[in-house]
Amino acid sequence: MRRSPDQTEPDFRRLRIFAIDPLVARDGDHQVTVQVRFEELELRPEEKDRDPVSFRGRRVEVVDVDASGAAPIWLKPVELDAAHIAMQHGLEPSESDPQFHQQMVYAVAMRTFEQFDRALGRMVFLRGKHRLRLVPHAFSGGNAFFHPGLKAVLFGYFRASEEAPGENLPGQTIFTCLSHDIVAHEVTHAIVHRLRPGFNVATNPHVRAFHEGFADIVAVFQRLSFRELVHRALQTARGDVRQAGLLTDIAVQFGQGLGSGKALRTALDRKTKIQDVHEEHELGAVLVAAVFEGFYTTYERRSADLVRLATGGTGVLPAGALHPDLVTRLTVECVRTAQSVLTMCIRAFDYLPAADVTFGSFLRALVTADWELNPLDEVGLRAAVIEACRLRGIFAAEACSLAVNALLLDTASHDDWTPHVSTFREWVDRAIQVGVDEERAHSPEEEIDTFVESSSSERLLERTPLILFQASPMVRAEWDKEESSEPGRSLGDQIRAWVDSLTEEDRARLLRLGPRRHGKTVTLFNTTQRLTADGLQRLGLVVQILELVSLRLDGRECEVPTGTTLVIDVTGRVRFVIATPTRADALLTELTAAAQQAARGPMGWAGASPADRFAVDYRGMHQARASS
Amino acid sequence: MKKKVAKKKRRVVTRPRRKRHLTVRMYNVGFGDCLLLRLPTDDGERRMLVDCGFHTLGKGAFTDKQLVEQIREDLDGAPLDVVVATHRHQDHISGFGEPDLWKDIAVEEVWLPFTARPARAGSDGAGHSLTATAWDALMEQAHDLVDAEGRLKVPASATLSARTQEERDTVAFMLWNARANKPAIENLLGGMRRASGRAAKRRFLPDGRAFPSSVVTPELPGVTTHVLGPPRDAQLRKKRAVPASWGITDAGGAGMLADVGSPFGREWRVPEERVPGRPPFKASSLSSIRQFNDDLLHAAAAVDGYLNGESLVLVLEVGRARLLLPGDAEVGAWTAILESPRALELAASATFLKVGHHGSHNATPLTFLRDHLAKKTPAVFSTQAGDNNYRNGIPFDDLLTTLTDRGMPFVRSDTGPFEKTEIFEPDPDERWIDCFIPC
């Protein structure tokens, strides 16, 4: 509420987007207006007698440059702050208006960032406060991907298949940036890359699958939070989410445009067990299906009473259209449940190991995170997700059962950690101070394009569809970058010094880390906020300690990340120690499996560079997915 | 039509060949190259075979076996003094992949581009080995994407599902051509034997950094071979964009892959002169993005261009005859030639031209024909027109017109004309055309 006439800055910016692919939107009105936190947008760069070519906020920069031809084409950036555009909630959704495309990637990317903010209780920035660059028409090709080197999400555009274009016109231009799912998916990759750099090395077959599955989960559940869209879909599907393809199909236009005749993927259940599939995209789909089923079961339970009320207690819906009031109420339940699921999944991040993620460790993290926030699970969401995971063979190897108690992460033994409490308390103080400083520092520093071209041989390989950006030296370089702000840097140093000061025995006992290797440790930290059962807010600190261990695989030396996450509360006590299992031989087996998988490679191309077989290649993953 | 008239006029002045001459037999292999040279020397006739292959999707009068058998028959027991494999594209070496038949043909020397030299263990191979390894990996991948008949395998085909059939055919065509032909390479590198039974001598050209360089071999007494390609500079070998100075005015139809261009009109673009000096992406970042365009199409084209970039470019000096044999050399090799006065002089001194790369737009600078090569120099195209994008610009119309304009008599291996003239004498069954060049 305004207190003075000077207060004109809005809290939110409303922007129109296509909630589902424009192809589907053609047979109905499927645009929605989303609300993103208001921020001043700046047109850049400011040079005399030159025009700006991008616009940016605090976390993203939309650069519309088209590199499909020999010379780059720069498209004029939309000025979302311009009164005429702002007063109509942004430009009208249109396939032929590139400035609308810019608006759409901005809006969806910000929505995705804000989902993470909300769930994690802090603003998520890329490392070093770089802005994520969004390039809506970067190249010509049926793919879109996050490029860690460029710190950019590159969206391609392509002509629909001439022979089997689905509902597209044959040869029609399809823009991947106009698919809400694709934008959300790619931005999620960028954020996951930031939150868990250790996951950039596929140390087991679940790692890549987790990347893909998690990005899909964010895309699907974010879409399920669009009230207008859900309302229309539930009206059509008579309240049954599973019958509403609008809500469950992922990237319809993209999939059809490639000639597959169907959506790229669907969140809908196949009762496939993870033990039955080996291919990583299928594995990822199992994770999505499990979470979706947990959502669906909960939604049904939450809405059953509404249906009974509306049907005089029978619970059997009559033929014909549903009463609009009922649809409205069902929509509320659907959106609320979807939001809870999404928050639950994202919150799990603070409880994930620093490297070598598996579906089992994700399940444990998710259960623990949710239990910390909501110990009673009154709506049964947690139980429903656990059950859906059980049906698909997702369980944690270390947990003896699927009971919530067993799934909760092991709490740390107090005695072991007592000597370190004061150190940790100091860390918490500093971390909180860093957070406060960051919040005050309103704008990230000026940046230039820092992408350094890889060596000529790597550049060569970049031409091939099998690109491995995250070659191990690059992963390391990424980790070695310090937190940007001064106190942040010194806290990082402090944590590393502490790790270095531990005796070998303490390392093994406390952190469950193997023998020390100098210069191979990286630390990351973030503060957390959680609510206790009695509704109090508690601050905390999550520390990731990442180390590279050296293994011999097929006679070749390779370095793989391992590590430990410490969850520390405000008093300096360690609540959870989440270690990458130190299981040298098991790790080797899994690495071999992952290597074999990678050797088959996206598109069945043989692996080009055996040294980088474990690198998570965002681009390759998508290529393979599109062609499978 | 115009050129036929010109041909007929020339026929009238046909005279019996009395002067000393060499012959070039161009086999009608389809889309490929195979030339048998008979060179009169101070020590009797010597024979040289330049390439022996064709594309499986562009067959001519022979199968691989039939081609080698025909060569054996034509040699009639005489050895081949020199075998040249200009580069490792299938349409130049497929016939070498019949090692059993080659056992019956004595070969004294084998000439290969220096890039074909097997890497010595432990050496970094004059700085090109890293690149070579990367390209080899690429070749291997290309090998896996098409089957032996030149059809795209499923994963490759799926990746290109959004492309037109024509574009897919183009990719398949290029990829098959780049398929590794292990038997042929092994035969060239280690299989062929001299008449004496010893292993044939291998030469990897150019041998050294000098440009241009020359080779003189006792097997071809009195013959000097000038080597004008491949360039030592790897960057040049990769060069693909045809410079404007080559004289191609209309690139339409000549490019294999159409540039898609922005789907949005000019009104949406920042005018070029208004683009900031320091935009959010540096040029190097943009060029790395550019490499993501249509992955497979571009990768296939890159492989194709790279292999052609390895092609040997030879000028054979036999008496007063100079045969210009550029293999499939493309832009890079020609750039080096045009920039070197000595190399250009040698190339321009040609009295016979095997038109490069089956007559594509990017393998013969029109300016070279117009401004440097003598008028009326006879030329041959070893080629076959076809219907995919790769081939439908081959032979390139402007090239044919320029030859006609320059009064250069020429024949094509596929369509002839199969008429006897002073220079050309076709086989009655149209399986080859012999060219008689005074020397």
Q: What is the 3-state secondary structure (H, E, C) of B100-145?
A: HHHCCCCEEEEEEEHHHCCCCCCCCHHHCHHHHHHHHHHHHHHHHH
Span B331-353, mean pLDDT? 94
Reduce the secondary structure of A439-502 to three states and give it as a string.
HHCCCCCCCCCCCCCCCHHHHHHHHCCCCCCCCHHHHHHHHHCCCCCHHHHHHHHHHHHHHHHC
Beta bridge partners of A539: A529
Please judge whether B275 and A628 are an interchain contact, meaning their C-beta atoms are less than 8 angstroms apart: no
pLDDT at A139 (0 to 100): 86
pLDDT at A513 (0 to 100): 81
| CA distance from start to end of chain A | 53
Q: Where are the beta strands (DSSP E) in A226-319?
A: 249-250, 265-266
Q: pLDDT of A421-454, one tens digit each?
A: 899 999 888 888 877 777 676 544 444 554 443 3
Q: Using a CB-CB distance cutoff of 8 angstroms, which residues of chain A are in contact with residue B235? A: none
Look up residue A126 and give its two tokens.
């890329």
> Using 50, 70 and 90 to split pLDDT, how confident is the model at A549?
confident
Q: pLDDT of A239-251, one tens digit each?
A: 888 887 778 787 7
Q: Using a CB-CB distance cutoff of 8 angstroms, which residues of chain A are in contact with residue B269? A: 73-76
Altogether, the residues listed in chain B come to a count of 439
Residue in A252, A175, A259, A261 with CA at minimum distance from that of residue A219: A252
Please tell me what DSSP assigns to residue B341: H
Q: Of A123-132, A310-319, A511-520, which has the strongest mean pLDDT?
A: A310-319
Span B324-345, mean pLDDT? 94
Nearest 10 degrees: CA dihedral of B1, B6, B9, B13? Answer: -140
Amino acid at A153: V
Span B201-206, mean pLDDT? 94
Amino acid at A69: G
Q: Which of residues A529 and A507 earns the better pLDDT score? A: A507
| Residue partners of A601: CB distance under 8 A and separation at least 6 | A466, A607, A608, A620, A624
Cβ-contact B343, B371 below 8 angstroms: no
Q: Which of residues A267 and A106 earns the better pLDDT score? A: A106
Please tell me if residue B295 touches chain A, with a CB cutoff of 8 Å: yes
> Which of A61, A68, A135, A262 is best to mutate for the B interface (most B CBs within 10 A)?
A68
Q: What rounded mean pLDDT belongs to chain B?
A: 84
Q: What is the spatial distance between Cα A495 and Cα A443, in angstroms, rounded to a whole number?
A: 27
Strands B44-59 and A152-159 turn out to be: unpaired
Cβ-contact B98, B72 below 8 angstroms: no
Please judge whether B270 and A162 are an interchain contact, meaning their C-beta atoms are less than 8 angstroms apart: no
Q: Using a CB-CB distance cutoff of 8 angstroms, which residues of chain B are in contact with residue A44? A: 280
Q: How far is A564 from chain B (nearest CA, A)?
A: 35
Q: What is the spatial distance between Cα B420 and Cα B427, in angstroms, rounded to a whole number?
A: 9
pLDDT at B382 (0 to 100): 94
The tally of CA atoms less than 13 A away on the side-chain side of residue B148 is 3
Residue in A53, A42, A447 with CA at minimum distance from that of residue B274: A53
> Using 50, 70 and 90 to split pLDDT, how confident is the model at B111?
very high
Residue B121 has pLDDT above 60, yes or no: no
Please judge whether A51 and B133 are an interchain contact, meaning their C-beta atoms are less than 8 angstroms apart: no
Q: What is the spatial distance between Cα A619 and Cα A143, in angstroms, rounded to a whole number?
A: 8
Q: How far is A194 from chain B (nearest CA, A)?
A: 21
* Angle between helix B295-309 and helix B165-178 axes, rounded to 10 deg: 40
Look up residue B240 and give its two tokens.
């693909």
Residue in A121, A124, A581, A575 with CA at minimum distance from that of residue A368: A575
Cβ-contact A191, A116 below 8 angstroms: yes
Look up residue B436 and give its two tokens.
């008689």
Q: Using a CB-CB distance cutoff of 8 angstroms, which residues of chain B are in contact with residue A66? A: 262
Q: Of A456-470, A557-571, B234-248, which has the strongest mean pLDDT?
A: A557-571
pLDDT at A598 (0 to 100): 52
Span B259-268, mean pLDDT? 76
Q: Of A165-174, A325-334, B238-247, which has the strongest mean pLDDT?
A: A325-334
Tell me what ipTM this predicted complex has: 0.81
Q: What is the spatial distance between Cα A282 and Cα A265, in angstroms, rounded to a whole number?
A: 10
Please judge whether A76 and B269 are an interchain contact, meaning their C-beta atoms are less than 8 angstroms apart: yes
Q: pLDDT of A473-498, one tens digit each?
A: 333 334 444 344 556 667 878 888 89
Please judge whether A465 and B296 are an interchain contact, meaning their C-beta atoms are less than 8 angstroms apart: yes
Of A54, A141, A604, the CB nearest to B292: A141
Q: Which of residues A601 and A124 earns the better pLDDT score? A: A124
Beta bridge partners of B59: B30
Amino acid at B87: H
Beta bridge partners of B106: none
Tell me if residue B271 falls in helix, strand or coil.
coil
Cα–Cα distances (Å) from A374 to A50, A366, A371, A383, A520, in that order, read 54, 12, 5, 12, 38
Residue B96 has pLDDT above 90, yes or no: yes
Min mean pLDDT across A484-498, B86-100, B164-178 is at: A484-498
Cβ under 8 Å to B: A residues 257-276: 257-260
Residue A97 has pLDDT above 80, yes or no: yes
Q: What is the spatial distance between Cα B357 and Cα B363, in angstroms, rounded to a whole number?
A: 6
Q: What is the spatial distance between Cα B201 and Cα B107, in angstroms, rounded to a whole number?
A: 9
Place of tokens 């400083």: A437
Q: Which of residues A270 and A375 earns the better pLDDT score? A: A375
CA angle A78, A81, A86 (to 5 degrees): 95
Please tell me if residue A446 touches chain B, with a CB cutoff of 8 Å: no
User: In the A/B pair of chains, how many CB contacts fall below 8 A?
Assistant: 202
Cβ-contact A301, A379 below 8 angstroms: yes
CA angle A23, A28, A29 (to 5 degrees): 100
Q: Which of residues B162 and A101 earns the better pLDDT score? A: A101
Cα–Cα distances (Å) from A461 to A618, B135, B137, B285, B307, in that order, read 15, 8, 9, 16, 16
Q: What is the spatial distance between Cα B118 and Cα B182, in angstroms, rounded to a whole number?
A: 13
> Using 50, 70 and 90 to split pLDDT, how confident is the model at B90?
very high
Min mean pLDDT across A33-42, A267-276, A404-413, A608-617 is at: A608-617
Tell me if residue A103 falls in helix, strand or coil.
helix
Cβ-contact B318, B222 below 8 angstroms: yes
Cβ under 8 Å to A: B residues 248-267: 259-264
Span B147-169, mean pLDDT? 74
Q: How far is A449 from chain B (nearest CA, A)?
A: 6
Residue A609 has pLDDT above 70, yes or no: no
Q: Residue B349: how many CB atoms within 10 A of its CB?
A: 17
Backbone angles phi, psi at B228, to 5 degrees: -110, 0
Place of tokens 């110990």: A375
Please tell me if residue A469 touches chain B, with a CB cutoff of 8 Å: no
Element (H, E) at B39: strand B30-41
pLDDT at A121 (0 to 100): 81
The tally of CA atoms less than 13 A away on the side-chain side of residue B124 is 3
Please judge whether B281 and A462 are an interchain contact, meaning their C-beta atoms are less than 8 angstroms apart: no
Place of tokens 């994770």: A287
Altogether, the residues listed in chain A come to a count of 628
Q: What is the spatial distance between Cα B436 and Cα B298, in angstroms, rounded to a whole number?
A: 41
Of B134, B261, B281, the CB nearest to A457: B134
Residue A262 has pLDDT above 80, yes or no: no
pLDDT at A557 (0 to 100): 65
Residue B389 has pLDDT above 90, yes or no: no
Please judge whether A72 and B288 are an interchain contact, meaning their C-beta atoms are less than 8 angstroms apart: no
Of B162, B241, B263, the CB nearest to A161: B162
Please tell me if residue A55 touches chain B, with a CB cutoff of 8 Å: no
Cis peptide before A324 (omega within 30 of 0): no
Please judge whether B134 and A460 are an interchain contact, meaning their C-beta atoms are less than 8 angstroms apart: yes
Tell me if residue A197 falls in helix, strand or coil.
helix
Please judge whether A150 and B299 are an interchain contact, meaning their C-beta atoms are less than 8 angstroms apart: no
Q: Name the closest residue on chain A to residue B284, using Cα atoms.
A: A453
Please tell me if residue A110 touches chain B, with a CB cutoff of 8 Å: no
Of A73, A139, A623, the CB nearest to B269: A73
Cβ-contact A52, A46 below 8 angstroms: yes
Q: Using a CB-CB distance cutoff of 8 angstroms, which residues of chain A are in contact with residue B145? A: 605
Residue B133 has pLDDT above 60, yes or no: no
Span B406-427, mean pLDDT? 93
Please judge whether B276 and A608 are an interchain contact, meaning their C-beta atoms are less than 8 angstroms apart: no
Q: pLDDT of A185-203, one tens digit each?
A: 999 999 998 888 888 777 7
Q: Using a CB-CB distance cutoff of 8 angstroms, which residues of chain A are in contact with residue B130? A: 456-457
Residue A341 has pLDDT above 80, yes or no: yes
Q: Of A23-32, A96-105, A346-355, B166-175, which has the strongest mean pLDDT?
A: A96-105
Please judge whether A162 and B165 are an interchain contact, meaning their C-beta atoms are less than 8 angstroms apart: yes
Q: Name the closest residue on chain B to residue A67, using Cα atoms.
A: B290
Of B158, B164, B269, the CB nearest to A627: B158
Q: Using a CB-CB distance cutoff of 8 angstroms, which residues of chain B are in contact with residue A459? A: 288, 291
Backbone angles phi, psi at A62, to 5 degrees: -100, 115
Span A364-381, mean pLDDT? 86
Please judge whether A606 and B140 are an interchain contact, meaning their C-beta atoms are less than 8 angstroms apart: yes
Of B262, B280, B288, the CB nearest to A66: B262
Amino acid at A130: H
Min mean pLDDT across A395-399, B144-148, B282-286, B382-386 is at: A395-399
Q: Residue B306: how many CB atoms within 10 A of its CB?
A: 24
> Using 50, 70 and 90 to split pLDDT, how confident is the model at B294?
low
> Which of A73, A154, A258, A281 is best to mutate for the B interface (most B CBs within 10 A)?
A73
pLDDT at A22 (0 to 100): 75
Please judge whether A47 and B140 are an interchain contact, meaning their C-beta atoms are less than 8 angstroms apart: no
Q: How far is B84 from chain A (nearest CA, A)?
A: 29
Dmax (CA) of chain A = 73
Please tell me if residue A611 touches chain B, with a CB cutoff of 8 Å: no
Q: Using a CB-CB distance cutoff of 8 angstroms, which residues of chain A are in contact with residue B280? A: 44-45, 53-54, 61, 63, 65, 133, 449
Q: Which of residues B133 and B50 earns the better pLDDT score? A: B50
Of A52, A99, A465, the CB nearest to B299: A465
Q: Name the closest residue on chain B to residue A154, using Cα atoms.
A: B289
Look up residue A313 and give its two tokens.
């207690």
> Which of A463, A468, A469, A609 is best to mutate for the B interface (most B CBs within 10 A)?
A463
pLDDT at A606 (0 to 100): 30
Please tell me if residue B406 touches chain A, with a CB cutoff of 8 Å: no
Of B141, B281, B296, the CB nearest to A65: B281
Amino acid at A461: L
Cβ-contact B264, A75 below 8 angstroms: yes
Q: How far is B143 from chain A (nearest CA, A)?
A: 10
Please judge whether B137 and A461 are an interchain contact, meaning their C-beta atoms are less than 8 angstroms apart: yes
Amino acid at A522: V
Strands B107-113 and B80-84 turn out to be: parallel
Q: What is the spatial distance between Cα A404 and Cα A276, in angstroms, rounded to a whole number?
A: 25
Cβ-contact A181, A251 below 8 angstroms: yes
pTM (2 decimals)?
Answer: 0.72
CA angle A359, A362, A363 (to 5 degrees): 90
pLDDT at B63 (0 to 100): 93
Q: Compute the Cα dihedral for B413, B419, B424, B427 and give only its sign.
A: positive
pLDDT at B126 (0 to 100): 40
